[in-house]
A and B are shown apart, each in its own frame.
Chain A
């Protein structure tokens, strides 16, 4: 693991390693190096299994952060390769030649985030949003509530309640009372102690 991380950092201009667990490390590399880096990991370092591709919309920084998660059956650990790409006109190199299954993720990212993967098979075909117009729904500047209210005829009379307080008041009234009195008791004792001290 450590050797692989060092290799990535020296060969592909990798940034700092973000070690989440003993067997899960994320490394950030420049977007242009991602395909090479993944190819190296697949063919030389034994990370043959592509777990998933995911994207996060960092609207504050103006980037999409792509994460390619790989798994090694021999070493029993995971490496995540992160790359930032610009939010405007977002485009990324396709990896469907490394893993054919990646085309499904890329199609999904194209549909939900509007990230283009030129050359990826059927990337422009919608999976879920047939005939979608406007900005892709998973981008953070897309207001899903407003869209839903405009499109789907909301029914009047919907009330919103915080689940925790609502449950406590409706279903567990006596337990709540006991909890409150215990809290008062503890607080009162603490106060008295403070006075004594």
Chain B
């Protein structure tokens, strides 16, 4: 599998990209602060400054753009687009996810730092939507990465998305949006599910 990557990137012989660039350590859950006041304060900060990584996998992503325009303007609520997974905390899956896309979703998800939240946008992420019997699109997103909020609809309007953001903020404030820790605790189950559909796993086991 690493041979294939080497060939694509044209890197010298004997250079193992995966061991060189990526860590093979398993993720470990990091519990939130034990002090109640500090924890609440951190949750408040997390809820009021959410950096969004929008992943336009399907048609749902078309409903993300109006959110940043004059009509809906989510920057009022402290939500900003951030095009890099390292800095963002909310990962929005915009619609159906094919198997090939799932690879990218998993890699991007694992690169986000610990308090990370996932929003499934559209019916396709809930139960497959209109692609429920397709050979190539997943049915339930929460079997591959932990999902905090689903916004149902085909397509959901930007107003529904804003309602979803409100719900997510409530969850963060209550300290219930612990998707990253869930992922780390049930790492084997998630990896099994991911590997069941991704047959040629030509990427690192865990790419932080």
Judge whether A4 is part of the interface by a CB distance below 8 angstroms.
no
Q: Report the bound CA distance from A130 to B137 in whole Å.
A: 13
Give the size of the chain A interface in residues (CB under 8 angstroms): 19
Q: Total number of A-B contacts with CB less than 8 angstroms?
A: 54
Asked if A148 and B139 sit within 8 Å, CB to CB, the answer is: yes
Q: Are B100 and A152 in contact (CB under 8 A)?
A: no
Chain A residues within an 8 Å CB radius of B99: 129-130
Interface of B is mostly: loop
Q: Which of A128, A130, A153 has the largest number of chain B CB atoms within 10 A? A: A153
In chain A, positions 104-161 with a C-beta closer than 8 Å to chain B are: 128-133, 137, 142, 144-145, 147-149, 151-155, 158
With A151-B196, A152-B128, A158-B127 as contacts: A128 and B136 at CB distance below 8 Å: yes
B133 and A155 contact, CB distance less than 8 A: no
Q: Are A148's CB and B198's CB within 8 A?
A: no
For residue A128, which residues in chain B have a CB less than 8 angstroms away from its CB?
A: 98, 100, 136
Partner of A147, one of B127, B132, B135: B135
Q: How far is the CA of A149 from the CA of B140 in the complex (A)?
A: 11
Interface string of B93-112 (1 = CB under 8 A from A): 00000111000000000000
Min Cβ gap B93→A in Å is 15
A129–B137 Cα distance when bound, in Å, is: 11
Contact of A155 among B137, B139, B196 (CB under 8 A): B139
Q: Which residues of B contact A154 (CB under 8 A)?
A: 127-128, 132, 139-140
**Chain A residues in 8 Å Cβ range of B76:** none
Cα A149 to Cα B138 with chains together (Å): 10
Query: Do B199 and A152 have beta carbons less than 8 Å apart?
Result: no
Question: 1/0 contact trace for B195-207 toward A, CB 8 Å?
Answer: 0111110000000
B193 within 8 A of partner (CB): yes
How far is the CB of B127 from the nearest CB of chain A, in Å? 4
A137 to B135 Cα, complex, angstroms:
7
Q: Mark B3-14, 1 if CB is under 8 A from A, else 0.
A: 000000000000
Within 8 A of A (CB), among B161-208: 193, 196-200
Closest chain-A Cβ to B135's Cβ sits at a distance in Å of 4
Contacts of A147 in B (CB 8 A): 135
Q: In the complex, A22→B196 CA distance in Å?
A: 51
Closest to B143 in A: A153
B86 CB to closest chain A CB (Å) equals 26
10 pairs of residues in contact across A and B, judged by CB atoms under 8 Å: A130-B199, A131-B198, A132-B199, A144-B133, A148-B134, A149-B133, A153-B143, A154-B140, A155-B127, A158-B127
User: Besides A128-B98, A148-B133, A151-B196, 6 other CB < 8 A contacts?
Assistant: A130-B199, A132-B199, A137-B135, A152-B128, A152-B137, A154-B128
Footprint of B on A, CB under 8 Å? 128-133, 137, 142, 144-145, 147-149, 151-155, 158
